[in-house]
């Protein structure tokens, strides 16, 4: 796959995650990030979720990158893997 195709797939995956996180509409404030570690931040009244979106497989390097990032205790770190069939596999990482 070309780099352009991969970037387009990733962008579509981020938008799909945004739609899932904000269902029902208005239930969360979803922010698309561009810091290259996390792609999405979802804020609800009692939780903040930082999410890294990956395509097709979760690599050990993704888990290490997300795990090493320091966040406040009310934040959760997650990796969402978008499979070719369009479904997400979600892994929550705990420190």
What pTM does this model have?
Answer: 0.91
Residue whose token pair is 């899932």 = 20
pLDDT for res 22: 92
DSSP 2-39: -HHHHHHHHHHHHHHHHHHHT-STTSSEEEE--SSS-S
pLDDT, averaged per 10 consecutive residues of the chain (95 residues), comes to: 91 95 91 90 92 96 94 92 96 86
pLDDT for res 79: 97
pLDDT for res 94: 81
Cβ within 8 Å of residue 23, ≥6 positions away: none
Residue 32 backbone zone (phi > 0: left; psi -120 to 50: alpha; other: beta): beta
- Residue pair 88/80 in contact (Cβ under 8 Å)? The answer is yes
pLDDT for res 9: 95
What CATH number has the domain spanning 3-93?
Answer: 3.40.1350.10
Q: What are the residue boundaries of the structural domains of the chain, listed by start?
A: 3-93
Helix, strand, coil in percent for the chain, rounding step 5: 30, 35, 35
């Amino acid at each position: 796959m070309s780099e352009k195709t991969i970037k387009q797939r990733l962008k579509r995956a981020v938008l799909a995650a945004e739609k899932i996180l904000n269902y029902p509409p208005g239930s969360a404030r979803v922010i698309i990030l561009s810091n290259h570690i996390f792609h999405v931040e979802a804020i609800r009244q009692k939780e903040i979720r930082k999410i890294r979106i990956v395509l097709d497989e979760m690599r050990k390097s993704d888990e290490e990158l997300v795990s090493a990032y320091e966040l406040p205790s009310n934040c959760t770190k997650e990796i969402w893997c978008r499979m070719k069939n369009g479904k997400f596999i979600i892994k929550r990482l705990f420190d």
